[in-house]
């Protein structure tokens, strides 16, 4: 059986999981790949610490298992790239630095297969890597970059080749879903739920990328490239996080038979692509409302085969590592026959203000008679049909109430808010909170 040698760059949470699976399952994986898959070397700054997680032999680490300086690690990485016996490089360092990009590009240019979970790099700088992989006829594996163990990349790339993906909706960030789930089921406020997420290991010390929608947006950009052939810029994607979601929003969503989730939503319609990452009230007749904790779920709607749901662990050492190892096996078995895709065309996203949803609009106003009528009239003047108006939920000196609309555009809602401010300056105590409703 021909040998297939793998090098792992970065042996932290995910990289150590990759090493463990490759070592534990070596005979089985080799049989599946029809090649003898072996770990030739691992480059990591702190081998002893990394080895302890899963009892990885220190002899596999460059430098013999001693801690490395960044300069030493860089020199060993260069050796990996120049080593003609290494067939595939696994990148689990993470980040979007120019140095790491140059390392990944150098590996591909050296005609080595590359497997990565680095969603940020692929979303922001992936075009050059995919182009190089096509030029040198090597595999770029990235299943683990979107939703960890959930096989959504292979499903879109391989299983739906006889169909057309029209819409993607999903919970693609486990940290945010864990926080919102604890707020909903335990009655917690945002800060308390965030602290619990950090204690449980779901949230980083600096959780900004997760709670702002940035992490989920990286994943949605990758899926749009695959599903729609739309090369959209990460910077152009509308991103709204969960930081402003309050207990009263959760309570009102519950009254409406909804749960609040951070949703990645992309839809192709009449040649345009509408996309955004934002908190949405998800009606309980939608399966996404039933996905709790740190679990991820992606709903794909196709032109011919309808709806499909992909549910599983969106992160975790062994969970994410299993997806990486799957890509390694495919690269070993099929090599240059694996289609990398993202050869998508530059695409400008349609203005999200003109995408239609039902909306929940929460107003905080002066507490005086006639306000509800003034606001609902302004909404009606924008040709928006109103579904329901909630009772007032008094908050100190202000009246807080919500208006639920029938499907309309954010552009119409913004027009109504502008009209309210023009008719009654100072009436609104704060900017209305606008949350789309996903049925």
- Extents of the domains making up the chain: 3-148+318-346, 152-313, 352-438
Q: Is the pLDDT of residue 386 over 60?
A: yes
| Per-residue pLDDT at 411 | 94
Q: Which of 60, 54, 95 is nearest to 80 (CA)?
A: 60
CATH code for the part of the protein at 3-148+318-346 = 3.40.50.720
Q: Is the pLDDT of residue 335 over 70?
A: yes
Say which residue the tokens 């002066």 belong to.
Answer: 366
Fold of 152-313: Dihydrodipicolinate Reductase; domain 2 (3.30.360)
Q: Is the pLDDT of residue 333 over 70?
A: yes
Continuous segment of H or E residues that includes residue 75: helix 70-82
Higher pLDDT, 100 or 426: 100
Q: Which of 342, 346, 349 is nearest to 269 (CA)?
A: 349
Cα–Cα distance measured from residue 242 to residue 245, given in angstroms and rounded to the nearest whole number: 5
| Per-residue pLDDT at 215 | 96
DSSP-derived letter for residue 25 is T
How much of the chain exceeds pLDDT 70, in percent? 97
| Per-residue pLDDT at 340 | 65
Fold of 352-438: Alpha-Beta Plaits (3.30.70)
pTM of the model: 0.92
Which of 20, 112, 219, 239 is labelled catalytic? Answer: 219
* DSSP result, 314-375: ---HHHHHHHHHHHHHHHHHHGGGS-----PEE-PPPPGGGSEEEEEEEEEEE--TTHHHHH
Say which residue the tokens 């899926």 belong to.
Answer: 223
Q: Is 199 a catalytic residue?
A: no
How much is the average pLDDT of 406-423?
96
Q: Is the pLDDT of residue 337 over 80?
A: no
Answer for the pair 171, 297: CB distance below 8 angstroms, yes or no. yes
Q: Please give the mean pLDDT across all residues of the chain.
A: 93
| Per-residue pLDDT at 12 | 94
What tens digit of pLDDT does each residue of 94-134 get?
999 999 999 999 999 999 999 999 999 999 999 999 999 99
Domain 3-148+318-346 and domain 152-313, same fold? Reply is: no
| Per-residue pLDDT at 395 | 60
């Amino acid at each position: 059986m021909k040998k297939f040698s793998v090098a792992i760059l970065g042996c932290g949470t995910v990289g150590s999981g990759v090493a463990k699976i490759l070592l534990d399952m070596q005979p089985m994986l080799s049989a599946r790949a029809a090649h003898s898959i072996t770990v030739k070397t691992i480059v990591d700054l702190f081998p002893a610490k990394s080895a302890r997680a899963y009892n990885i032999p220190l002899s596999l680490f460059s430098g013999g298992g001693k801690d490395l300086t960044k300069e030493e690690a860089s020199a060993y990485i260069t050796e990996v790239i120049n080593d003609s016996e290494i067939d595939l490089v696994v990148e689990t360092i993470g980040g979007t630095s120019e140095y790491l990009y140059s390392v990944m590009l150098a590996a591909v240019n050296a005609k080595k297969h590359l497997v990565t979970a680095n969603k940020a790099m692929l979303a922001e700088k992936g075009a050059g890597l995919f182009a190089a992989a096509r030029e040198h006829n090597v595999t770029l594996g990235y299943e683990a970059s979107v939703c960890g163990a959930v096989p959504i990349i292979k499903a879109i790339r391989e299983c739906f080749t006889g169909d057309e993906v029209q819409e993607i909706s999903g919970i693609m960030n486990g940290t945010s879903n864990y926080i919102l789930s604890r707020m909903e089921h335990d009655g917690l406020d945002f800060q308390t739920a965030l602290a619990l997420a950090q204690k449980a290991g779901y949230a980083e010390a600096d959780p900004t990328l997760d709670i702002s929608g940035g992490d989920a947006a990286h994943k949605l950009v990758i899926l749009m490239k695959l599903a729609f052939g739309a090369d959209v810029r990460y910077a152009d994607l509308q991103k709204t996080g969960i930081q402003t979601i309050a207990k009263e929003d959760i309570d009102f969503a519950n009254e409406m038979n909804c749960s609040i989730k951070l949703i990645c939503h992309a839809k192709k319609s009449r040649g345009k692509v509408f996309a955004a990452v934002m908190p949405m009230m998800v009606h309980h007749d939608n399966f996404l409302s039933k996905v709790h904790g740190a679990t991820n779920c992606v709903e794909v709607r196709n032109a011919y085969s309808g709806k499909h749901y992909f549910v599983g662990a969106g992160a975790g050492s062994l969970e994410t590592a299993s997806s990486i190892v799957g890509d390694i096996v495919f690269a070993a078995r099929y090599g240059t026959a694996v289609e990398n895709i993202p050869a998508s065309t530059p695409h400008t996203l349609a203005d999200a203000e003109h995408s239609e949803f039902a909306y929940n609009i929460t107003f905080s106003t002066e507490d005086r008679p006639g306000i509800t009528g003034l606001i609902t009239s302004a909404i009606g003047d924008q040709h928006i049909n109103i579904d329901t108006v909630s009772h007032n939920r008094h908050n100190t000196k202000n009246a807080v109430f919500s208006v639920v609309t029938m499907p309309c555009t954010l552009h119409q809602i913004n027009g109504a808010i502008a009209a309210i401010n023009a008719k009654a300056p100072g009436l609104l105590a704060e900017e209305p909170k606008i949350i789309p409703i996903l049925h």
